[in-house]
């Protein structure tokens, strides 16, 4: 029953946050601030993770190519496919659910606990629009992070493959360009846009409607991470079924 209440509450929140928009003069600054915090603030961790994930995928693929009949360029091919289709959009989004999601829940939750949200509402401000809408707009730049993650992940694969002595640079590059299907990039970015919306709204819901004090802010952050990850994983399955089959 509680889950149904939460789903209904989330849907109402999504509708309400578009009502009574904040002045553009103020909204513009809020969006830029959120872009700085949510997008540029996440680049470091995404680049770091992508590089090493790409490297590990490359090494593991190489280690499993035991037959001489299988061409070495498969390492580049497998790295590209893994990174573009799953690791960059989905794996990074789960990481972002922890990094960005916890930040959103705790910052909005703290505002709730310290009555800052009440202060906004007393003034007649649509607190949802003021707090959540800029985050959604900022997160629409999330595909930029994922594009970087794709490049860095493949570079990590190349680095580990070539400098680990598993493959030549020419073979890896040949594998990366082999049988390239442009729609896979489109599919990946469609997923990313959907994940971006989820990453901005689910943690906001958990922060905005939390009750209690500082301890509950911590609990809300954890719950928010769990639910954002779960919804991302389920949405990933549904979108893959719809777009790739």
Partner 1 sequence: MIEVDNIHKSFDDAHILKGVTTTFDTGKTNLIIGQSGSGKTVFLKCLLGLFKPTEGTICYDGKRYSELTAAEQRDLRQEMGMVFQGSALFDGKTVEGNVMFPLEMFTKQSKSEMQDRVDMVLKRVNLVDANHKFPSEISGGMQKRVAIARAIVMNPKYLFCDEPNSGLDPRTAIVIDNLIKEITEEYEITTVINTHDMNSVMEIGEKILFLKDGLKEWEGTKHEIFKTDNKAVTDFVYSSELFKKVRQMYIEERN
CB of 119 to partner 1, least distance (A): 4
Q: How far is the CB of 153 from partner 1 (least distance, A)?
A: 34
Q: How many CB atoms lie within 10 A of CB 13?
A: 17
Residue numbers 99-138 binding partner 1 by CB under 8 A:
110-111, 114-116, 118-119, 121-125
Compare residues 116 and 240 and give the one whose CB is closer to partner 1.
Answer: 116
How many Å apart are CA 238 and CA 107, to the nearest integer?
Answer: 31
Q: Which residue has the tokens 């509950």?
A: 216
| Rounded least distance, CB 159 to partner 1, Å | 40
Residues binding partner 1: number (CB under 8 A): 17
Smallest distance, partner 1 to C-beta of residue 37, A: 10
C-beta of 81 vs 129, nearer to partner 1: 129
| Closer CB to partner 1, 110 or 235, in the complex | 110
Smallest distance from the beta carbon of 38 to partner 1, in angstroms?
Answer: 14
> What's 53-104 look like in SS3?
HHHHHHHHHHHHCCCCCCCCCHHHHHHHHHHHHHHHHHHHHHHHHHHHHHHH
Token match 């809020």: residue? 30
Residue from 1, 15, 23, 211 that binds partner 1 (CB under 8 A)?
A: 23
Residue with tokens 């999330």: 142
Q: Which is nearer to partner 1, 164 or 213 (CB)?
A: 213
Stretch that binds partner 1, among 17-25, 56-64, 77-85, 161-169 (CB under 8 A): 17-25
Measured from the CB atom, the residue of 30 and 56 that comes closer to partner 1 is 30
What are φ and ψ of residue 128, in 5° steps? -65, -45
Q: Which is nearer to partner 1, 6 or 174 (CB)?
A: 6
Q: CA angle, corner 103, sides to 42 and 196, nearest 5?
A: 60
Instruction: Give the integer Cα–Cα distance in Å for 224 and 135.
Output: 16
| Helices assigned H by DSSP within the chain | 2-16, 24-34, 41-64, 74-82, 92-96, 102-113, 116-123, 127-131, 133-139, 142-163, 169-177, 183-208, 214-244
Residue 215 sits in the site that holds partner 1 (CB under 8 A): no
Report which of 195, 207, 211, 216 is spatially closest to residue 92, judged by C-alpha positions: 195
Residue (2 or 23) nearer to partner 1, CB: 23
Minimum distance from residue 144 beta carbon to partner 1 (Å):
24
Minimum separation from the CB atom of position 214 to partner 1 (A): 12
**Applying CB under 8 A, which residues contact partner 1?**
20, 22-23, 25-26, 110-111, 114-116, 118-119, 121-125
């Amino acid at each position: 029953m509680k889950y149904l209440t939460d789903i209904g509450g989330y849907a109402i929140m999504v509708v309400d946050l578009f009502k009574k928009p904040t002045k553009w003069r103020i909204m513009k600054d809020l969006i830029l601030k959120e872009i700085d915090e949510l997008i540029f603030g996440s680049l470091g961790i995404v680049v770091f993770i992508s590089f090493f994930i790409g490297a590990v995928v490359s090494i593991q693929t190489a280690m499993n190519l035991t037959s001489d009949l299988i061409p070495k360029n498969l390492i580049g091919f497998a790295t590209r496919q893994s990174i573009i289709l799953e690791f960059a959009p989905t794996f990074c989004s789960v990481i972002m659910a922890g990094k960005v999601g916890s930040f959103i829940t705790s910052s909005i939750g703290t505002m709730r606990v310290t009555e800052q949200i009440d202060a906004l509402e007393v003034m007649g401000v649509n607190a949802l629009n003021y707090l959540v809408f800029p985050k959604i707009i900022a997160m629409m730049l999330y595909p930029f992070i994922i594009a970087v993650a794709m490049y860095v992940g493949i570079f990590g694969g190349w680095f580990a493959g070539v400098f680990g002595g598993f493959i030549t640079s020419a073979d890896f590059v040949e594998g990366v360009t082999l049988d390239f299907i442009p729609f896979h990039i489109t599919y990946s970015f469609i997923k990313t846009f959907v994940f971006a919306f989820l990453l901005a709204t689910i943690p906001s819901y958990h922060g905005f409607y939390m009750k209690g004090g500082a301890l509950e802010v911590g609990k809300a952050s954890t719950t928010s991470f769990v639910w954002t990850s779960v919804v991302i994983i389920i949405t990933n399955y549904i979108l893959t079924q719809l777009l790739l089959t």
